[in-house]
Amino acid sequence: MSTPNHEVKSGSDAVPPASSVEDSSTVASRPLIRFDVLTLFPNLFEGFLSESILKRALERNLIAVHRHDLRTWASNKHHQVDDRPFGGGPGMVLMAPPVVEAVEAVQALTAPPGLVLAMTPSGRRLDQEWVRRLATQPRLILLCGRYEGFDERIIELLQPELVSIGDYVLSGGEVPAMVVIDAVSRLIPGVLGDDQSAVEDSFGPEGLLDHPHYTRPRLYRGLSVPEVLTSGNHAEIARWRREQALQRTRQRFREAVLPTIPNAPYGSAPPATE
């Protein structure tokens, strides 16, 4: 079976081939963005790439995800990619030779070489504005760490952008890489069906949090849906939703955001009483 637009140098490829899409006319001639993931656990991405939005985006060749097993570039017969830290201390460190040579080999697989991102808690915190910038790239190389982290010379030689998804320590960079693939793919045209839109998501261009959402049943355990939402008055609904989004954003980012929002109802910081 030909490997569809995601390949694992080793390990299974459960994701169904492109030919199983409903109407093939919607298969893009070339993906709008290609992700190359370098990891010691390529199979961790199976389920993530085999369901819902990403499965359909892969089938329609809107995006491509190629996984590469870092161990393929291990130089000794033990396929060693990690070693004990110089200076002592707990744990192991990812070695520079297999990682640097893996990135260089993967970048050379096709053009353009792609922007290299290394997932690490010491990176800059990922946010929607950064995701929007990444979604304009034709190719992203996602480097997943393991153990205590990368030999520092990997960073010196590859000069990757350092990406953190949050101030907590994970066992590997695979989940952060999935976060990048998911968040960026949502901004690729056609990935979200027209019943979904990334535009109205939280952290849109204005940086506002999303307004509350309601659906049937109208009444649940005595809790009803705000009248305005069933009024049919779309101007009123839009005003209410913006008002709610502002309140939530203010709660969340009190003084930080409001001043930057043009003609926000409160203008500068909320009255002292609050």
Residues near ligand 4FV (CB under 6 A): 119-121, 145-147, 149, 164-166, 168-170, 172-173, 176
Task: Please report the sign of the dihedral spanned by the C-alpha atoms of residue 64, residue 70, residue 75, residue 77.
Answer: negative
Residue 166 or 259: the one with the smaller Cβ distance to ligand 4FV is 166
Decide whether 140 or 192 has the Cβ nearer to ligand 4FV: 140
Cβ contact 70:101 at 8 Å? no
Min dist CB 25 to ligand 4FV, Å, is 39
Q: Kindly state the smallest distance separating residue 20's Cβ from ligand 4FV, in Å.
A: 33
Nearest approach, Cβ of 171 to ligand 4FV (angstroms)? 6
Is the bond leading into 31 cis (omega within 30 degrees of zero)? no
Q: How far apart are CA 104 and CA 98, in angstroms?
A: 10
Q: In this structure, what token pair is assigned to residue 15?
A: 């994701």
The Cα angle at residue 134 between residues 120 and 64, in degrees rounded to 5:
95
Q: Answer whether 45's CB lies under 8 Å from 149's CB.
A: no
Which residues are tagged catalytic? 121, 148, 186, 201
Q: Residue 68: beta bridge partners?
A: 38
Least separation in angstroms between CB 41 and ligand 4FV: 12
Q: How far is the CB of 160 from ligand 4FV (least distance, A)?
A: 12
Q: Count the neighbouring beta carbons within 10 Å of the beta carbon of residue 16.
A: 14
d(CA 144, CA 97): 15
* Pairing mode, strands 161-164 and 115-125: parallel
d(CA 74, CA 22): 41
Residue nearest to ligand 4FV (CB): 145
Tokens representing 93?
């460190």
Check: CB of residue 177 under 8 Å from CB of residue 144: yes
What distances in angstroms separate CA 237 from CA 185, 192, 206, 213, 232, one per listed residue? 29, 24, 19, 12, 8
